[in-house]
Amino acid sequence: MIFLDAAATTPVRREVLDAMWPYLTGEFGNPSSHHTLGEAAATALADARRTVAAVLGCRAGEVTFTAGGTEADNLAVKGIAVARQAADPQLNRVVISAVEHPAVEESARYLERFHGFIIDVVPVDGTGQVTPEAFQKVLTPETAVATVMYANNEVGTVQPIAELAALTHELGIPFHTDAVQAAGWLPLDTKALGVDAMSISGHKLGAPKGCGVLFARGRTKLEPLIHGGGQERGRRSGTENVAGAVGLATALTLAYAGQEEQRRRVTALRDTFISAVLGGVPGAVLTGHPSVRLPSVASFCFPGTSGESVLLELERLGVVCSSGSACAAGSDAPSPVLTALGVAPEVAQTAVRFSFDATVTEAELAAAAAAVESAVGRVRALGA
Ligand code: PLP
């Protein structure tokens, strides 16, 4: 099987599992306990936090461990909006982009339904990018928080985060970015990016599912979503997932060791794959930005097919990929991301996304490109 669905999830790396193992077995203490086992767990958690902070270029106290990317997004969007509105009731707007993951979009919808917020959606251009001009237009003095994802999960387009963050700061608006897909591939230095909050998920990086991080800059007001014993400096109560935090910290460090070289290699493989598919499949269209995109994502529409039929055919040929977002898999509705890019709904329904991790090889992608040619040809011939 050639697994080209790394944007959905990745297997746990051996080194990550090895680093986690002690905290699942012998060193199983609760970090809040005042005995040797508890202290060992607390030390491991503190080390993991420092390790993550080193990659993010921030202070350890600015790192909150969560149960994944979805929780980190919820905590950022709801937590900042609600905290700021409590301090100043005039702050009743949130800005999101038109291509956000449901974890961000639905958090904004919640604010609209239950806290009276108005959602301002900033459109994207045909490549999936938010332009600074369009972004500036939707920022107002009433904006409580603005959030634009770093890189899109369906088409891989990368946003000009530093530029967008700078624009929000001119108005004193905190800026959050969902970096779940960018993590491991793009620079995560929070100072250089100028972000106030940033979400990361472990399972896209070779750590287990159900662990994530929210970076929130020290001064950022943040109302917790989960109340209880006050763990994570009161930002996220609940006994900490020590092994998950250690796993995430290890995976993040490994992803950024030799990352430049890895990024160059995978980008070159991606471009060869894109050319092979565009050259081999008549009518195939690349979606997203042609070059400002994740090294790990190649996404297409194959007009005259159904994306789901192409996926089934590809799986029969040994290639596993997806139609876009794993969250929307199985849904008949055209992807809101692709329609936001201006793709016609009937074409959006023919979308297929190939996403790789850093272990992908030239041979795998050559075989996958040949499989795509044959799968699309067969689906078209069958009229499916
Ligand atoms: N944000 C983006 C861009 C994603 O791609 C995903 C997962 O697919 C998430 C958030 C949610 O992360 P998690 O699966 O850790 O909840």
How far, in Å, CA of 283 to CA of 32, rounded?
59
Measured on CA atoms in the order 342, 70, 112, 220, is the torsion positive or negative?
Answer: negative
Q: Is the CB of 101 under 6 A from ligand 1?
A: yes
- Span 14-255: which CATH code? 3.40.640.10
Give distance in angstroms: CA of 170 to centre of ligand 1. Answer: 29
Best residue among 99, 107, 204, 294 to mutate for probing ligand 1, ranked by most atoms within 8 Å of CB: 204
Q: Where are the domains of the chain?
A: 2-9+259-382, 14-255
The residues of the chain scoring below 70 in pLDDT are 325-332, 384
Nearest CA to ligand 1 atom 8: 8
- 157, 324 Cβ separation under 8 angstroms: no
249 vs 373: CA distance, rounded Å: 40
| pLDDT value, residue 259 | 85
Find the 231 Cα to ligand 1 centroid distance in Å.
23
Common-topology check for domains 2-9+259-382 and 14-255 = no
Q: What is the pLDDT of residue 384?
A: 61
- 327 as an active site residue: the answer is yes
CATH architecture of structural domain 2-9+259-382: Alpha-Beta Complex (3.90)
Report which of 141, 104, 98 is spatially closest to residue 120, judged by C-alpha positions. 98
Q: Is 149 in the pocket of ligand 1 (CB under 6 A)?
A: yes
How is residue 53 written in tokens?
A: 């902070």
Per-residue pLDDT reduced to its tens digit, 101-131: 999 999 999 999 999 999 999 999 999 999 9
